Amino acid sequence: MREILAIFKGLYITLKHNLKNIFKNQFTIQYPDIKRRLPQRARWALRLQRHEDGTERCIACQLCAAICPSEAIYIEGDENPIDNPIGKGQRYAAVWIWDAGRCLYCGFCVEACPDEVIIMSDVYEMASPSRESMVWDKNKLFVPIGVKPKQAWMGFYRNINQIDVNPVSLPKEIHQKEEEVYAREKKERKRFYENKKFMFLEDENFINSK
| Pair 153, 52 in one domain | yes
| pTM for the model | 0.62
Partnered with residue 20 across adjacent β-strands are: none
Q: Which residue has the higher pLDDT, 195 or 112?
A: 112
Nearest by Cα to 27 from 194, 202, 160 = 194
Q: Which residue has the higher pLDDT, 204 or 85?
A: 85
Asked if the structure places residue 129 within a domain, the reply is yes
| Pair 59, 96 in one domain | yes
* Total of domains in the chain: 2
Whole domain around residue 182: which residue ranges? 168-210
- Are 80 and 90 in contact by the 8 Å Cβ rule? The answer is yes
Highest mean pLDDT (candidates 31-40, 50-59, 118-127, 183-192): 50-59
Percent of residues, the chain, with pLDDT higher than 70? 69
Return the pLDDT at 202.
40
Residue 20 and residue 26: Cα distance in Å, rounded?
12
Asked if the structure places residue 53 within a domain, the reply is yes
| Band of pLDDT at residue 73, cut at 50, 70 and 90 | very high
Percent of residues, the chain, with pLDDT higher than 90? 34
| Pair 61, 139 in one domain | yes
Return the pLDDT at 200.
40
- Residue 87 pLDDT greater than 60, yes or no: yes
**Tens digits of residue pLDDT in 175-201:** 555 566 556 655 655 555 455 444 444
| Pair 141, 63 in one domain | yes
| Pair 114, 66 in one domain | yes
Return the pLDDT at 158.
42
Residue 14 and residue 96: Cα distance in Å, rounded?
53
Return the pLDDT at 36.
76
Q: DSSP string spanning 87-144?
A: BSSSEEEEEEEEETTT-----HHHHH-TT--EEE-S------SSSGGGEE-HHHHBPP
| Band of pLDDT at residue 40, cut at 50, 70 and 90 | low
Return the pLDDT at 209.
38
| Band of pLDDT at residue 104, cut at 50, 70 and 90 | very high
- Residue 28 pLDDT greater than 80, yes or no: no
Residue 18 and residue 11: Cα distance in Å, rounded?
10
| Band of pLDDT at residue 137, cut at 50, 70 and 90 | very high
**Tens digits of residue pLDDT in 43-62:** 889 999 999 899 999 999 99
Asked if the structure places residue 27 within a domain, the reply is no
